[in-house]
Structure formats: C-alpha cells, structure tokens
Structure 1
Amino acid sequence: MTLPMILLLVIIFIAIILFALDALPADVIGIGIMTALVVTGVLTPEEGILGFGSETAIKTLGLLLLTTALIKTGFVQMVTRRIVQGVGDNKNRLFWIVSLGTAGMGSFTSNTASTAFFLPVTLSVSKKLKQHPSKMLMSMAFAAILSSSMTAIATSTNLVVSGLLTSYGLEPMGIFELTPIGIPILIVGLLYMFFIGRKLIPERELEGNNRYLPRDTRYYAEVEIPKKSPWVEKEIQQLGLRDEYDISIINIERPGEGEVKPSGKTRLHAGDQLVLDGCREGIFALNDHKAVRFTSTPEEELPEAIKKKYGMAEVVLLPSSSLVGQTLRGLSYRKRFGIQVLGIQRRGKVLRERLLNERLQVGDQMLIHGDPETIASLENGDNFRIISDTIEEPKNTKKAPYALIIFMLSVGLAAANILPLAISTMIGALLIFVTRCITPAEAYKSMNWSALILIGCMLALGKAMATSGLANYLAGELVAWIGTGHAYLLLGGFFMLSMILTQPMSNQAAAVVVLPIAIETALQLGLNPRTFAMMIAVGAATSYITPLEPACMMVYGPGNYRFMDFVKVGSLLTLLIFGISMLLVPVLWPF
C-alpha cells in the first residue's frame, strides 16, 4: 500500500467520524475532504476542483433550478394541499394519499423537499382525524426515501453514481433505468408500513399544551415597569434576560402609544406593560427583582388578549436552510426575521437554557412568537417550514403551469435520449428565467447550494479513490480473500456496506466510497460493473434505521419519536429492501 493510499484511508476514516458526530454541516465536511486531498498531494489542485465543472454538477444545478421554480411558483404547495384535502375522514385513506403523494413528488424532486411540503398538511389532517402524528409522519418520511430508486433524478446520489459510471467509460444512468427495481421497493415498503410498520410505533403523549416545552417549566407573566426601575430607558438587549433568567419579552403595551413590537434595541419606559415568557425558575427569580412589578400571577397559559394580537407558531428548520450551524445570537434573528424563539426541541430533547448560544441543526423544531403576517412570510423562504394547523392555497400560481411544462420538457428530452440530461436541464433553467417563473436572484437565493457543494467535493473523493489506486488495491484484496465464483456474496456485501455507511455519512459520500471498489472488483472478476452500481445506488438510499436522514430528522420532533423507533421499524424494512434487491438486480442487470 502506497503513501497516497494510506493518506486517503485516513481522510476517509476522519470524514466518517465527522459525519457520524454531526460535528459540522455536510458540505463543510466535504470542503474539508477536498482540501485535505489536495494539501496531502493525493490529488492535484486541478483534479480537486474538477467535480464542480463535471456533467454531474451541471445536472444537479439544472435540476435544483427547475425544482426551485416548481416550489416558488406555488405548484408544489398547491398539489400537496389539494391531495391531502381529498382525505375525508378515513385514516387509512390518509395513509395512502399522503404516502403515494410524497413518493410521487419525491420521484422527481428530493425526498427532503417532498417531506417538507407534506409535513404541515399531514399534521393538520392527522389532528382533524384525531390520529396521533407518529402514526403518519414516519410513514411519510419513509415513503419519500422509498421513492429514491424510482428515477435517476429522485436523489442527487443517483446522479453521483451516474457520474462515476461515466468516469469508468460506462453509460450514464438512464432517467428511468432504476424504475423496474424502484416500483417493487416502493410497493413492498408501503405495504409493510401500512400493515406492520406503523403498528410498531408507540403513541407517546405530548406533554402539556406545548409540544416543545414541558408544562412545569414554561410560564407567562404580565409585569409593569415602575418609575424608579433600573430598566427605564434601557434597551432590551442590555438587560441580559435570556442569559440570566431564560426569559423573553413577547409583548409591550405603552401608555399613550399602545402596542410596541419588542426588539433588541427597543428602549423600555416607565409604565410599560410587558408580557414575559420564560422558565418557571427565571420568572419567579424576577419576581424578587425591583426592576418590575407583577400585575398578574405567573401562569402556564398566554393571556387571551395577547393570543389574539400575536401569533405563536411551530416551525421546523429545513435542510436547505442557511441558518444551519449558526447561533440565534449571531443571527440577530429578531431583527432579521421579526420573531422570537421561545423554545427549541432537537431529536426528542428540549433545549431550555442558553438558546441564544445553541448552534441550529437540521430538523430543529422551534416555538416562535411574532406578528401573524411576519410568521406567514417565513414560508416564502427556505429556512423554515411552518407546521401549524392551517391549510392555505398559495396566493399566486399564475406561473405554475409554465414551471411544470418546462420541467416535464427537460426531463422528457433526456428520457427520450434526445439530449443529455445536463443540457436539457440547462435549457429548462434558461426557459424558467425567460418566462419569468422566477428571477435569477430568487433562484440563487432559494437554491440548496450545500447539495451542489457536497457533490462537487464528493466527486473529488471518487477521483482520489481511482487515481491513488486505493479502489483497485482494495478490490484485489477482496477478490483474493473471497475468491471467484461468489458474485452474489459480493453483491450483497456491497449493498450492506453502502447501507451501513449511509447511516452516519451522507448518501453521496457512501456511494462515492463504495462504488469505485465495487466497479474495480467487478472488472477484475469479469463481471458487469453496472450490476454493482445499481445495487449500490439502492443501498446508499436505504437509510431507515437511524433518524439521521434529513427527511427523518424533520419528522422526529413532530412525531415525538425516539431513536429506537427508527431502529425497530427501519431494520425490518431494510431487510425487505435487501431481499428484493438481491432477487431483482441480477435479473435486471445480469452479471
């Protein structure tokens, strides 16, 4: 084993640990991998950045632009809401409509996008039917992931696999090449969730009226600022209420002026009537403070008058959010978004203290407070998804038909082999700008750039696997250890390896690490590399046994799940998909 091989193994090992610990955002880890490959000399600088100009990167960019147009024109929101509105009062119908709708959307967009848009309406209808959200949300997330093998554009992992195939001189993955294996996986997966999976999920009661913060820890109180208060003429941000007392000011009534929206720079005046939100200990500690005079007894319910004037909503942080990895303090979130964050729940755990210093993560649920119009405007961005009970139609969908036609045209040209996917999607991107479905500024602001960055960096890792000789070396060792005549054993082993790696790592990273070894192994044994490539594409998308998949992270809190719920339900589903793949992949793509 040469020095570049050893260095590459060390880089991969460190990357796996960083992915598993969720120490940094995935795209940041990707940049670190690419940089390390160049600095250590495993790749030249030109080879390191080659992935960003590759056909795979162009395909991904084009599809991201087309998907953004579908979302920004209101097409996706309109379809998801109308689908769910047809449920009626039948819980079984809810399961099938939501699952098939999510899978259908996920077949042509990312599974995270389909999960994000079905999440609020599913919660709303579940509440209407008096069904615990846990019975639907995991099924919905799993349906989105199951759709990953329906088409080549269902997930960026398939595009990465396709790009690696071309780097070995093989044909790229066809748009519907995976569909014959994707349909059985989807059908069996949904039947499993309907008859078995959802019955394994317990219905845990949410604690109190607030699903984020237990009843005995959050209180509301009305106070008045006396004339001699040390708070008079001070800005709210100077008081240190969050840090010292874990308290927020959520409303101000000022004599002679009426309602004043609180912000960090709001100066307090004598006679101001404040509504406070905070932990019990902080509220009662403030009761002994001479800065305020309590005008009501601290209660666990927000005063009705304030409820009418101000809204409180539940939101989830999306994988596409630019806020991931940042702190609330660093964001100046009150000034930027016009809201207050009252509580955060992360993977089943409530974060009660020092919220301003918490680094935000994908799937974080937040209880926010602010003007109803301000809260509603959050839906227009790509940071939050409101998971409240309202089902509203998008206000303006005039351009939605154009976005849909352009999307279908772009995919159709590639599916019919008239144009390569990279070119057809670029034509589509040009058309969405010409028809003004969205402006370039809107597109660039709303796109999931982290996905594109991660793919470019992961392609550098794939290049390193080949140029360093590590893939060929490991393939030779594998063949020498297992021997010839064990094609099925190798095929199953590569599925399991990619499936295991995809749990802590990103799907793309898992595919990039495993696929070069599998292709080299197939070539050394005189087998069809495509058989192994399709198996790994399926395996890298089989991420059900942990909630670390972004689609699962988004439903973790709203469903009140525990980590072991995914292990229990996802393990059997993984075995079913493994069995289907072992039966059908060698038939559809013979050795």
Structure 2
Amino acid sequence: MITDMQLVFLILIITTVCFLIPRFRADLVATCALLALLLTGLVTVPEAFAGFSNSVVIMVAALFIVGEGVFQSGLAKKAGDLLVKKTGNKEWKLTVFMLLLVAVLSGFISNTGTVAILLPVVVSLCRQMQIHPGKLLIPLAFASSMGGALTLIGTAPNLIASQSLADSGYGSLSFFAFTPIGLTMLIIGILYLWFIGRRMLDKPVETKTGMVTNFNAAELVEQYRISNYIHTLKTPEDSSIVGQSIKELQLASTYHITVLEVIKEKSSTSLKRFSSGRLIHPITVGPSYIVEKGDIFLIYAERDALKKLTADTGLIHLLGEPPKLEESHLAEVILTPQSRLINQTIRNVNFREKYGLTVLALKHQFTEAKKVNADDRLHYGDAILVHGKWNDINLLSSEKNDTVVLKSAAEDTDLANQTNKSWIAGIILMAMLIAMVLEWVPAVVSIAVAAVLMILTDCVRNTDQAYKAINWQTVVLIACMLPMATALEKTGGVTFMSEGLINSLGALGPIAVLAGLYGITSLFSQFISNTATAVLLFPVAILTAEQMSVSPIPMVMAVAFSSSMAFATPVATPPNAMVMAAGKYTFLDFVRVGIPLQIVIAVVAVLLLPLFFPF
C-alpha cells in the first residue's frame, strides 16, 4: 500500500510535470496540488490555507503595488529617459549602462516590470544605433535576474528564504544580506555578457526593409507578412453603401474583412500624399463611421473576399503603388508571461471591443508570422501586430501585467495611466528602504505602509488600479505551494531528500553538499517557477544543515541565489520569456549564452557563500 510520503511525492511529481506544460497556468496547478493534499488528508484545513496568511505572501502582494506606484508616477520612465541620455551613440555605453540600470531597478521593484519599462527603450535605441536588438535583450533579461538577487526584496525567493530561517529559529536576514555576493555575481555577469555573451548574440542588422532611425511601419508590415492583405478601395459616387455606417454594412461578418483607415482629401499642406500626388488625411475607422462618396479605404482582407465585396458594392479596387498604413496606427505588442490573455483565442479577447484595436498578424515562438484567425489561441511568448488609434495603443501599453508595446511610432507621449508624481513615489520608496534597512518595524509593515501611501498620494491612481497591479498568479502560487512543503515535512519527505543529499555528498564536506543543493535548485528553476522551487527546497536546505551540525544560512542562500539565477531556457524566468519575441531568439540562443553564465555564477556562489556566511 502506498505510504503518505510516497503519495506526497506522487502529487509533487504530477504538479511538476503540469508546471512544465505551458497550457496550464502555474497558479491553477498549485491550487489543484493544494486541494489534492487537502482531500487526501496529507494536510489539515488550517495547514492548507495557512499560506494565504503568511507574511511573505502579504509582502509580495504589497510590493507589486509599490512597484506600480513607481511605474504610474513616472519614476521608472525617468530611469528609461536617463538611459537614453547617457548612452549617446556608443554601443558600449548603451550595453553597460543598460545592464547596471536594469540591475539596480530590479533590486527594489519587480524585475518583470523593470524589463517591461526598458524593453521598448532598448529596442528603440538599437534601431537608432543600427544594432540588432537580439544583441542586447538577452543581457537585459539576465541582468534583471542578477539584479533581483541584490536585496532582500528583489525577488520572492529572497523573502521566502528570510522567512524560512526566521520560522526555524535562526532569525531573519537583513536587507543587504544578499548584496555582497549578489554584487559580485552582477559584476562578473556583466563582464561575461560584454566580452563573451554579446559576441554569441552578434546578429546582422536587418536590412530587408532598410534600417532607419525612426519607427518604420513598412518594416513591421514586411516582418509580419501582411502586405498582400492590405488593399485600397475607393467609393464611387453612385455606390450603394454611401450614407451607411460601417456597423450597418456588417463587413466583418458578411465578407470577413476589416476596414482599417479612410483617406479624406484635404487642402492642408501638412498632410501626406497619396500615390497619385493628392494630399490625404488618413484616420482610423470605427463602427459608427458613415461612408461618403469619394472615400478611399484601406482594408484588411483575403483576395477572394475582396472580389466578392467589390462585386456586391461597386467599390473600386485601386491598383498601382502598394497601400501604406499610417505609422501612428501600428504597433508591435508582446504578451507578458503572466498575461491574462494567454490561452485565450483572439475572438474571446475582443481586442476590437476592449481596446479599439485590430489584430493583424500573430507570431508564435519559433514560427513565422501569419495572418491572424479569430480562433487562434494566444500562447506564452507570442508577439502580435495591432492597428488602431494611438490613444488606444497607449491604453494597451499601460496594462503592463498583460502586454508590452514593443515598437510604435509614438515618441515622448504621456501614458494614460501616468500620474506625474515621481518625486512623491521616490520619497515613499526611499522611506520604505530606510525603514527596512534600519529595521524600525518588521519588513512586512514597512512594505504594507508604502503600498497604502502609494494609493493615498495618487501615485497609483486608485484602489482598483492597485488590485490590478498585483500579480495574483505569483501570490496564489506561493500561498498554495507552502502547504506542499508542510506535507513533505510531516510525511518525512524532507528528511528523505536531506538524507539522500548527505549520503551522496556529505563525505566530501558541507561545501560539496552546498554545491549539490545549488545544482539541484538550478536544474529545477530552468523549467518551473523559481518561487515554487525555492519553497520546496528551503526546508531541505535547513534540515540538511541541521543534520550536518552546520549553519543553515549558507545552504538557504544557495537555494535562494540558484532559484533566481536561471538563464539556460526562455521559460526559466518571466524576463527571459518577454525578450524572446523582441530579440527573435531561438531556444538554442538561451542555451549557448545561458549555460556558461549559469556555471560561472554557480562557481562564484559556492566559493563566496562560505566566506561571507561560515558554516
């Protein structure tokens, strides 16, 4: 008959396999694992839901609100502007300053949010300096992970490490406990990325459509292969559709076409010219637009649908010079790893109704871009090309939890959610850090107070925005995985893993065991959440140290560092996944650049941890 310990390991194995399948959300998998433990009697009801009252869970949720205040107030944007000013036109300045900036920011706010802010900035600078963005975006993602290990609040595993030690009676870690080793790792990582990593990523500048310093809509149209679907139609005076609205015509349902823009002939000299030389004024078309005679429409359609439309309505298909979409109406968008849009179809997302935008093309990881279909399902790491008013694109760009607007024609535009209270957000953030460093109050109190102040001072627009800012997937994941660690401890699973580690490496000394812990954690964190990995292995690290009669602090910190330093796969961390589409990387790119860095950082950790935190 199966024992309780075997049952826990069976649930753990199934949970791990489900974590590896992109179709399943990590928080849903963790919730199912929690229920499985509860229904099999492996944990009690109080034990099952104790994670939701854990101070780490509260701190993580509050930190998301603090980070949102930093973003919405414009403080993070100022950091991006600083990057633009300091780089000049030199690649080495851009690379080094970018790595330092993203690392410092990631030490205090979410590394995912930091990458979301700086990603479009770096891509734009690469375009201006005629550098392929793939040369810098993997370093950007890696630096954000290394920066997260600089402070106690930089990443969730660090917070959980401190709490785990405190719960076991060893006291919590100080705010800068991770900094000496983390800073050494960062410096070595930057040197590696500059001298070795970026050379592995050295790709030729794309010249298919001509590399230009400004945003180029034609370049995006070419990359997403939609030029054959953009057509120009003119409305003759005797057309039957004159006087009708776009909604009344039901063009999408009847002909499967989308009207993108209409060109009105004007006399202003500031307007662009059509292929015939006439001045034009392109505007986006909404459902309420009334068709007038002489209107020139840019539509998105298959040729068969186009023929049927012109035959039924008398619209004239204008041939000759290929039609060009208005640059301010186009944007390339990537999905964040925690996006609520993942696993939904284009039809269910309702981009047109929700954002006022039309999805023109879709690019899955490792595949070529294609014309979008309403039943296409959005996946982890997808990139999409959208069309619409710039104000609507701006609204989409403000939803940092779901999407990042990577390329667009906008420059120096104020985001719709920006509050312009950067100095207030800076004071709140600095006060929180000082309170935590000097330990005036418990860390959870400092962070919670800072989160509330961000809302009360309007650095975060309102309470609803604060709730939206919280990455509930991470919060639920931590709360639901903590009972798994409890079940492993109750059934002897932690003891089993600890004894196995000691029996295999214990004879070689504590440094060998520390290296083994680091290696196991590193392997797991390449494929499943670093938070879930840390939650499961912290109890093993503490018990192993106790059985060897050594300090558990270096063991716990080894797990914390290793879980955050995940470079070898694009799914290892959210920042890795975010740069995947933007840098046009393959899985092999991460393996080639990430594994050597993984090994170098591991050696640094194993050598330095016993020096700073003796056994």
* Gapped regions of structure 1 (runs ≥ 5): 242-246
Q: Deviations over 1:216-275 (max 9, x none)?
A: 65421123579579x99442442362xxxxx543235699xx988555798989997542
Which residue does the alignment assign to 2:565? 542
The alpha carbon displacement at 1:118 in A equals 0.8
Query: Which residue, out of 207, 223, 226, partners 2:233?
Result: 223
Which residue does the alignment assign to 1:569? 593
* Gapped regions of structure 2 (runs ≥ 5): 210-217, 266-280
Pair 1:515 & 2:538 matched: yes
Which residue does the alignment assign to 2:454? 432
Query: Which stretch of the first structure deviates more once superposed, 26-35 or 97-106?
Result: 26-35
Distance 1:232 1:126, change over 3 A: closer
Pair 1:417 & 2:405 matched: no
Counterparts of 1:68-467 in structure 2, within 5 Å, are: 68-203=68-203, 206=206, 208=209, 209-211=218-220, 214=223, 218-219=227-228, 220-223=230-233, 233-239=248-254, 241=256, 248-252=258-262, 262=285, 273-278=296-301, 282-283=302-303, 286-287=306-307, 290-291=311-312, 293-297=315-319, 301-303=322-324, 306-307=325-326, 311-352=329-370, 355-382=373-400, 383-388=402-407, 390-392=410-412, 394=414, 398-438=420-460, 439-467=462-490
1:237, 1:264 within 8 Å by CA — same for their partners in 2?
no
| Matching residue's letter, 1:338 | G
Structure 2: how far apart are the matches of 1:272 and 1:36? 62
1:78, 1:394 within 8 Å by CA — same for their partners in 2?
no
The alpha carbon displacement at 1:581 in A equals 0.7
RMSD (Å), alpha carbons: 3.0
Structure 2: how far apart are the matches of 1:178 and 1:378? 36
Which residue does the alignment assign to 1:244? none
2:262, 2:282 within 8 Å by CA — same for their partners in 1?
yes
Q: TM-score, normalised by structure 2?
A: 0.86
2:103, 2:143 within 8 Å by CA — same for their partners in 1?
yes
Which residue does the alignment assign to 2:271? none
Structure 2: how far apart are the matches of 1:559 and 1:342? 20
Structure 2: how far apart are the matches of 1:451 and 1:174? 23
The alpha carbon displacement at 1:110 in A equals 1.6
Q: Deviations over 1:455-503 (max 9, x none)?
A: 2122222222222321112222333344444322221111111111111
Distance 1:469 1:262, change over 3 A: farther
Structure 1: how far apart are the matches of 2:515 and 2:536? 16
Other structure's SS at 1:355 match: coil
1:363, 1:550 within 8 Å by CA — same for their partners in 2?
no
| Matching residue's letter, 1:404 | G
Which residue does the alignment assign to 1:64? 64
Query: Which stretch of the first structure deviates more once superposed, 260-269 or 25-34?
Result: 260-269
| Matching residue's letter, 2:348 | G
> Which consecutive segments of 4 or more residues in structure 1 shift more than 6 A?
264-272
Other structure's SS at 2:374 match: helix
Structure 2: how far apart are the matches of 1:509 and 1:162? 15
Structure 1: how far apart are the matches of 2:11 and 2:289? 49
| Matching residue's letter, 2:405 | I
Structure 2: how far apart are the matches of 1:56 and 1:423? 11
1:484, 1:525 within 8 Å by CA — same for their partners in 2?
no
Distance 1:295 1:393, change over 3 A: closer
Query: Which stretch of the first structure deviates more once superposed, 495-504 or 359-368?
Result: 359-368
Q: TM-score, normalised by structure 1?
A: 0.90
| Matching residue's letter, 2:233 | V
Query: Which stretch of the first structure deviates more once superposed, 202-211 or 108-117?
Result: 202-211
| Matching residue's letter, 1:489 | A
Query: Which stretch of the first structure deviates more once superposed, 289-298 or 130-139?
Result: 289-298
Query: Which stretch of the first structure deviates more once superposed, 192-201 or 553-562?
Result: 553-562
| Matching residue's letter, 1:400 | S
| Matching residue's letter, 1:50 | A
